[in-house]
Amino acid sequence: MANTSTPTLTLLSQHGSFGGTVNIYSHASQQCQCTMKFAVYIPPQAKLHPVPILYFLSGLTCTEQNFITKAGAQRYAADHGLMLVAPDTSPRGEGVPDEEGWDFGSGAGFYVDATAAPWASHYRMYSYVTEELPSLIHENFEVNPQRQGIFGHSMGGHGALVCGLRNPDKYQSISAFAPIANPMQCSWGQKALGKYVGPDPSAWPAYDASALVADYGSTDRHILIDQGLDDSFLEQQQLKPEAFQAACEAAGQPLTLRMQAGYDHGYYFIATFMEDHIKHHGQVLCG
């Protein structure tokens, strides 16, 4: 169980769920220079021994609440003995720059470390997800830091692929729901990378999974992706799973890309295939 007396975390709420608990925490983030929140599902097995950790990165407009309340993941995490950790999608609060619109700024951090003004001082979600948040989890919960996986949805699927590919020593398993898989070639990604990282496209490949797989693809980790065929963003060419599939084939990166008829971009889609994704991670992390 968490040590809730530690000064680094503030417990905001706690709810029983499938023999474990769903906890919401806040803390002062050094990377983002603001108060950040994250949700944790602590499975019942954590009362007995350290458990593996599975991080979920949410999509545009979401907070730490969306996945933990809508995805139905706790039941399957309890079956496998996995701790679920779901951070917010971006820094927030007074003094944190924002922009009008839903696809940039608050709720749309794109899991990058911004280098352009005025975003660079707060929008450091890549380092927050890969360094600061894991350190907090390792220090405050009964977990096995050598057993970590990452997955996500849409913008968060992009984040999961990028974080997972760039850090094979930290994440042993990767999956995604409808990820933005080639952001350098879609308008969402071009806007985000151009403003957060700067207008020079030579800096963008560090945050594009389809570019990264050539350097970080590995036969040791099999990536699972589910994509709804009725997803309007697929039709709008924002997601580009075919580009990631081609990059994986060229790099020899094992990939299962499942195109699911009748499913769109929302949480009904995510909840439908959540069991498969938890099983995908559980087989690696709990085996």
The runs of H, that is alpha helices, within 180-257 are 187-196, 209-216, 232-235, 241-251
138 in Cβ contact with 172 (< 8 Å): no
| DSSP category for residue 130 | I
Q: Are strands 83-87 and 34-42 parallel, antiparallel or unpaired?
A: antiparallel
Return d(Cα 164, Cα 253) in angstroms, integer. Answer: 13
276 in Cβ contact with 226 (< 8 Å): yes
Identify the active-site residue in 265, 277, 280, 281. 265
| Of 203, 212, 215, residue with least CA distance to 179 | 212
Return d(Cα 153, Cα 43) in angstroms, integer. Answer: 22
Question: Taking the mean position of all CA atoms in its chain, how far away is CA 215?
Answer: 21
Tokens standing for 207?
């945050």
222 in Cβ contact with 256 (< 8 Å): yes
154 is catalytic: yes
- The strand order across the sheet containing 143-153 reads 10-17, 20-29, 34-42, 83-87, 51-57, 143-153, 173-177, 223-228, 255-260
220 is catalytic: no
173 is catalytic: no
Find the angle CA(221)-CA(185)-CA(96) to the nearest 5 degrees. 85
Identify the active-site residue in 29, 58, 106, 154. 154
Return d(Cα 44, Cα 76) in angstroms, integer. Answer: 12
Identify the active-site residue in 29, 113, 231, 280. 231
Which amino acid type is present at position 13?
A: S
Catalytic residues: 154, 231, 265
